[in-house]
Amino acid sequence: MKTWLLALQQQLSRQIHENKLPHALLFSGVDGAGQEEIAHWLINVLLCQDLTQDLPQNRKQETEENLRKVSQVSEETTNAQPFIFQPCGYCKTCKLFANGSYPDHLTIVNDKNTIGVDAIRKLSQFFEKTAHIGIAKTALVNHADTMTVSAANALLKTLEEPTSQSFIMLTTHSSDVLLPTIISRCQKFEIRPPVGKKLLAEYKKQGNDAFVNLSHLSELTDEATAVAFTAFRDKVKDYLCAHQHRAEILTLLVERHDGFRWLEKILVNLMRNQWGWPTAGHENQQASVINKQQLWQVYNLVQAANIKLKTLVQVNRQFLSEKLLADISLVVEQKKQ
């Protein structure tokens, strides 16, 4: 678990202990901040039927110690004693949850970058039935910002009429896109990881990148994402210089939700390089084939597309991506005429 999530784990553990966990929770933060990680942990804690038994030895002692403290000491002392609940990982429910087949939990995934009304209706029906195994029922809606308007309205109804012992977790990287009526019915947790040197230190990364910030978290924290980003960056350079890889870039922009942000980041680094500013490194000389003015124009196109993507509801991502690449091609082609 990421170190900056520990305080939140303590807070949520306390809320569970005091029976004050709300029916709906919204975890938001930039990609890689850990919102899905914390939601997953919380659901597992709620479902685990054996928080104190069948634990690995070190964790068993730790949790038993915590529970002993919680149950035996006075309320006053309990308040001062931070603790974190951990699922056992060995009970039947933990095992079923780990392999994705626990019947009293439902995860809603976004298909083709949106969550439609059918998925949310499925969620409502799921909560109407009583639990199969335990008492609690849980649902997780990842990328809740990608819900269509009708899906969001359907969810609103479920949030307004909670069934007992039901918990809905929403995660998002841009809560400003969510309907305010949804937000107001959830307890909202904004996850704010460290930035700059502290962030690099967290991952024991070398380097002196003064520009490293929260938007780079997913590339920093996940090796596969870092590899995908590097591959994408190289393709974008080839596209700008030699008009190659159009189809692959288009696919990535359409299918990867951070594709547009990546493109903007790549262009910023190319411009820094061209203007002789310090960069995150690795930007080679290829971009100098394009002049400063062209790169600036391309950057502005990407930035405008990014703003459209963030502000327009249900924007046609495919069309936006195709138009952007066509516009970039026009700018890049200018030099040849």
Enumerate binding residues for Zn ion (CB under 5 A). Answer: 48, 50, 87-88, 91, 94
Minimal distance, residue 51 CB to Zn ion, in Å: 7
Residue count of the chain: 337
**CB-wise, 29 or 134, nearer to Zn ion?**
134
Minimal distance, residue 74 CB to Zn ion, in Å: 29
What is the spatial distance between Cα 329 and Cα 256, in angstroms, rounded to a whole number? Answer: 21
Residue type at 202 in one-letter notation: E
Element (H, E) at 166: strand 166-172
**CB-wise, 133 or 179, nearer to Zn ion?**
133
Task: Determine contact, residues 124/137, Cβ cutoff 8 Å.
Answer: no
What is the spatial distance between Cα 229 and Cα 296, in angstroms, rounded to a whole number? Answer: 21
**CB-wise, 137 or 261, nearer to Zn ion?**
137
Minimal distance, residue 96 CB to Zn ion, in Å: 10
Judged by DSSP in three states, 141 sits in strand
**CB-wise, 94 or 199, nearer to Zn ion?**
94
Partnered with residue 107 across adjacent β-strands are 140
**CB-wise, 96 or 156, nearer to Zn ion?**
96
Task: Determine contact, residues 246/254, Cβ cutoff 8 Å.
Answer: no
What is the spatial distance between Cα 203 and Cα 220, in angstroms, rounded to a whole number? Answer: 7
The bridge status of strand 137-141 relative to strand 105-108 is parallel
